[in-house]
C-alpha cells in the first residue's frame, strides 16, 4: 500500500495504471500522427500536426484512465476475472467517447464531425490500440502474480492461532504469510537472515507489544525491512479502522477528524457548486421520475424521513418515494432483498439510486454533504450505538449522499453489517480530505452503474 494524500492505495494497481496510461498514450499518439489522417487539424508543418496529436493522445489516454478507475478497472477483483474485465472495458468505452468528443474541442479537433464521417476509422483504431494495451499489460501482470514477482513475504512477531493468519488472508494478492517469530528470540531478527528469506515486512502483533526486541527491530528497519504494528497494518490492508483495537480517545489524536474553518468553508463551497450543477443536469430526470411515481401508485412523490446528522442533530431527509405508503405500519424496519414493500417503479429507483437525487436539496440546505457517512434514522442509531462501541463517532462529520462505506461495502441490513460499515466510516473520519472525496465521487459511478449493494 502506498500512502497518497493521507490515504492508503494499492501501490501495485497504481503502478499498473501508470504503465497502461503511458503505453496507451504512446500507441494513440503514434496512431494519430501517422495512421489516422483527419483527426488532427491541418497544418503546414508536420511538427505542428505531431504536437497536436500528442496533446489529443494525452487527453484520450487520461480520459480513458480516469474512466477506467471510476468503473473499477484497477480493482483486484476485476484483474482476476477476464469476463468482468471485458464488461468494464466496454462500459468505459461507451462513457469515455462522448466525454472525449466534448473535451477535444479544447484542442480544436471536431471529433463529432469525425465520428459521423464514413472515412473516420479513428474510433475503432484508437479503441483497438487501447484494448491491445490493456490485454498486454493485464496478461503480463497476471503472469507476474502467478510467479510471485509481486508477492511480499510477511513475518508476524508474536500472535497466536487464527489471529495471525487473519492479518494476511490466503486470498491476499500481494502479501503472503511465511511464519511467526517469538519476541523472546531476537537473534532470528537479524537483517541478513531476513534478507536471505526475502522478507519484505514484519508485523508486530498486539500481544507482543509489551516485550519488543527494539534494537533488533531498529536494525531491520535501517536495513530496509518494513516494520508495522498490527493496528496500522490492518488499516493499510483493509482501508478501514480496526474497531476492536480503537481506543476510546482516538478522535482527540486524529488530525483530520476536526477540519479547520478554512477546510470546512472550502468543502461547503464545493458541495454547493457541485450539488447545484447536478440539480440543473438531473432536473428533467427528476420531473420524469415524479410523474412516473404519481402514475404508478397512490401517495406523495417525495418521502420525508427523520435522520441523524452532524453532532447528533436530526433533520428531514428527502427521497423519491419507492415504497407503499403503509410500508412501516408495523414500525421501522431495514430494507430486505426483494422487499415486498417496494413499488414497481420503486425497485428501479432504488437499484439505480435515482431515489436519492432529492438529497441534493439537503446538501444545498447544509444538512448534508455530498461525501460522508450515510445518515441513519434515530430508531436504528439508538440500537446500533448500544450494540457497537464508538458508533456515534461517525456523527463528528456531516452525513453524505455517498461515502467511503458505500463504495466499499454493500447495503447493510444487520448490526454486523453496520459494524463493518462503521469501520469504513471512521476511516473516512480519520483520513478525509479533498483527494479522498474525489476518489469516493469517482467510485460512486461504478457503484451506480453496476448496482452494487442496491435494495
All three cell numbers of 125: 483504431
Phi-psi region of 321 (alpha: psi -120 to 50; beta: other; left: phi over 0): beta
Contact (Cβ atoms closer than 8 angstroms) between residue 342 and residue 355: no
List, in order, residues 6 or more apart from 450 with CB less than 8 Å away. 71, 72
- Going residue by residue through the chain, which has 455 residues, state the pLDDT in tens, using 9 for 90 and above: 666 666 677 778 888 889 999 998 988 888 777 654 444 444 444 455 566 677 778 888 888 888 888 788 888 777 777 777 888 888 888 888 777 777 766 666 656 555 555 445 667 777 888 888 888 898 888 888 888 788 888 888 887 655 555 666 655 667 888 888 877 777 788 888 888 888 899 888 877 766 778 888 899 899 889 888 888 888 888 888 888 888 888 887 776 666 677 888 888 999 999 999 999 999 999 999 999 998 888 889 998 999 999 999 999 999 999 888 776 666 666 666 667 788 888 888 888 889 999 999 999 999 999 999 999 999 889 999 999 989 999 998 999 999 999 988 876 667 888 899 999 999 999 888 888 898 898 888 888 877 665 55
Predicted confidence at residue 118, as pLDDT, reads 45
Predicted confidence at residue 44, as pLDDT, reads 46
Cα separation of 351 and 338, whole Å? 11
Residues in the chain: 455
Nearest to 104 by CA among 60, 43, 49: 60
The residue ranges of every structural domain in the chain are 2-146, 152-239, 257-449
Cα separation of 79 and 55, whole Å? 29
Cα separation of 49 and 46, whole Å? 5
- CB neighbour class for 54 (10 Å; exposed up to 12, middle 13-18, buried from 19): middle
pTM of the model: 0.81
Contact (Cβ atoms closer than 8 angstroms) between residue 233 and residue 8: no
Contact (Cβ atoms closer than 8 angstroms) between residue 166 and residue 117: no
All three cell numbers of 243: 474497531
- CB neighbour class for 32 (10 Å; exposed up to 12, middle 13-18, buried from 19): buried
CATH class assigned to 152-239: alpha beta
Q: At what angle do helices 122-146 and 82-103 cross, to 10 degrees?
A: 140
Chain-centroid distance, C-alpha 74: 10
Amino acid at each position: 500500500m502506498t500512502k497518497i494524500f493521507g490515504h492508503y492505495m494499492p501501490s501495485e494497481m497504481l503502478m499498473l495504471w501508470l504503465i497502461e496510461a503511458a503505453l496507451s498514450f504512446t500507441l494513440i499518439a503514434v496512431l494519430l500522427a501517422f495512421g489516422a489522417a483527419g483527426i488532427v487539424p491541418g497544418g503546414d508543418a508536420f511538427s505542428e500536426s505531431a504536437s497536436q496529436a500528442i496533446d489529443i493522445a494525452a487527453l484520450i489516454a487520461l480520459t480513458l484512465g480516469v474512466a477506467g478507475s471510476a468503473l473499477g478497472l484497477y480493482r483486484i477483483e476485476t484483474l482476476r476475472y477476464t469476463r468482468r474485465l471485458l464488461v468494464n472495458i466496454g462500459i468505459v468505452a461507451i462513457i469515455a467517447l462522448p466525454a472525449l468528443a466534448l473535451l477535444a474541442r479544447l484542442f480544436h479537433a471536431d471529433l463529432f464531425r469525425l465520428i459521423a464521417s464514413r472515412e473516420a476509422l479513428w474510433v475503432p483504431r484508437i479503441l483497438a490500440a487501447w484494448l491491445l494495451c490493456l490485454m498486454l499489460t493485464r496478461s503480463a501482470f497476471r503472469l507476474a502474480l502467478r510467479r510471485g514477482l509481486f508477492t511480499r513475504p510477511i513475518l508476524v512477531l508474536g500472535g497466536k492461532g487464527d489471529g495471525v493468519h487473519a492479518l494476511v488472508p490466503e486470498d491476499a494478492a500481494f502479501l503472503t504469510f511465511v511464519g511467526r517469530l517469538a519476541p523472546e528470540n531476537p537473534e532470528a531478527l537479524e537483517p541478513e537472515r531476513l534478507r536471505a528469506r526475502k522478507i519484505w515486512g514484519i508485523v508486530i502483533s498486539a500481544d507482543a507489544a509489551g516485550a519488543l526486541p527494539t534494537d533488533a527491530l531498529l536494525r531491520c528497519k535501517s536495513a530496509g525491512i518494513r516494520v508495522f504494528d498490527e493496528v496500522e497494518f490492518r488499516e493499510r490492508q483493509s482501508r478501514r479502522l480496526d474497531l476492536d483495537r480503537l481506543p476510546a480517545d482516538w478522535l482527540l489524536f486524529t488530525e483530520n477528524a476536526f477540519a479547520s474553518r478554512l477546510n470546512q468553508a472550502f468543502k461547503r463551497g464545493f458541495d454547493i457548486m457541485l450539488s447545484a450543477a447536478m440539480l440543473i443536469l438531473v432536473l428533467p430526470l427528476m420531473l420524469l421520475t415524479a410523474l412516473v411515481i404519481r402514475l404508478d401508485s397512490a401517495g406523495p412523490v417525495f418521502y420525508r424521513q427523520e435522520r441523524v446528522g452532524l453532532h447528533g442533530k436530526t433533520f428531514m431527509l428527502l427521497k423519491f418515494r419507492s415504497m407503499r405508503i403503509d410500508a412501516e405500519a408495523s414500525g421501522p424496519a431495514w430494507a430486505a432483498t426483494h422487499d415486498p414493500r417496494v413499488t414497481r417503479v420503486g425497485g428501479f429507483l432504488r437499484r439505480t439510486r435515482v431515489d436519492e437525487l432529492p438529497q441534493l436539496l439537503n446538501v444545498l440546505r447544509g444538512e448534508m454533504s455530498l461525501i460522508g457517512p450515510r445518515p441513519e434514522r434515530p430508531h436504528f442509531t439508538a440500537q446500533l450505538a448500544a450494540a457497537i462501541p464508538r458508533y456515534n463517532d461517525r456523527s463528528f462529520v456531516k452525513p453524505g449522499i455517498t461515502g467511503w462505506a458505500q463504495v466499499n461495502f454493500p447495503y447493510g441490513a444487520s448490526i454486523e453489517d453496520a459494524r463493518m460499515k462503521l469501520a469504513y466510516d471512521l476511516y473516512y473520519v480519520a483520513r478525509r480530505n479533498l483527494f479522498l472525496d474525489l476518489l469516493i465521487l469517482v467510485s460512486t459511478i461504478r457503484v451506480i452503474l453496476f448496482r452494487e449493494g442496491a435494495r
